[in-house]
Amino acid sequence: MLIGIDLGTTNSLVACFRNGKAEIIPNRLGENLTPSVVSVDSKGTVYVGRSAKERAMLHPLESASVFKRSMGTDREYVLGGWKLRAEELSSLVLRSLKEDAESYLGQPVTDAIISVPAYFNDLQRKATKRAGELAGLNVVRIINEPTAAAIAHGMMEQKDSRYLVFDLGGGTFDVSILELYNPIMEVHAIAGDNFIGGEDFTDVLYNLFLESAGIAPENLDLKTRSEIRKNAENCKCAFSHSNEVMMCCAVNGQMHILRLSFEEYERACAPLLDRLRKPIERSLRDAGVSLNEIDQIVLVGGATRSPVVRKFVAKLFGRIPSFGINPDEAVAIGAALQCGMKSRD
Positions marked catalytic: 6, 68, 145, 167
| C-beta of 180 vs 300, nearer to ligand AMP | 300
- How far is C-alpha 202 from the chain's CA centre? 15
Neighbouring residues of 241: CB distance < 8 A, sequence distance ≥ 6: none
Length of the chain: 345
237 binds ligand AMP (CB under 6 A): yes
Q: Least separation, in Å, of the C-beta of 306 and ligand AMP?
A: 4
> Using H for helix, E for strand and C for coil, what is the string for 115-158?
EECCCCCHHHHHHHHHHHHHCCCEEEEEEEHHHHHHHHCCHHHC
Q: Least separation, in Å, of the C-beta of 331 and ligand AMP?
A: 9
Longest dimension (CA), the chain: 63
Q: Least separation, in Å, of the C-beta of 12 and ligand AMP?
A: 9
Burial per residue of 289-325, b for 16 or more beta-carbon CB atoms within 10 angstroms, e otherwise: beeeebebbbbbbbbbbbbbbbebbeebbeeebbeeb
- Span of 117-125, 135-143, 155-163, 300-308 interacting with ligand AMP by CB under 6 A: 300-308
Cα–Cα distance between 92 and 107 in angstroms, integer?
20
Name the residue with the smallest CB distance to ligand AMP: 198
291 binds ligand AMP (CB under 6 A): no
68 binds ligand AMP (CB under 6 A): no
Give the footprint of ligand AMP on residues 311-340 (CB under 6 A): 328
Give the footprint of ligand AMP on residues 199-218 (CB under 6 A): 199, 202
Give the footprint of ligand AMP on residues 75-134 (CB under 6 A): none
Which spans of this chain sit near ligand AMP (rule: CB under 6 A)? 8-11, 169-170, 198-199, 202, 233, 236-237, 240, 301-303, 305-306, 328
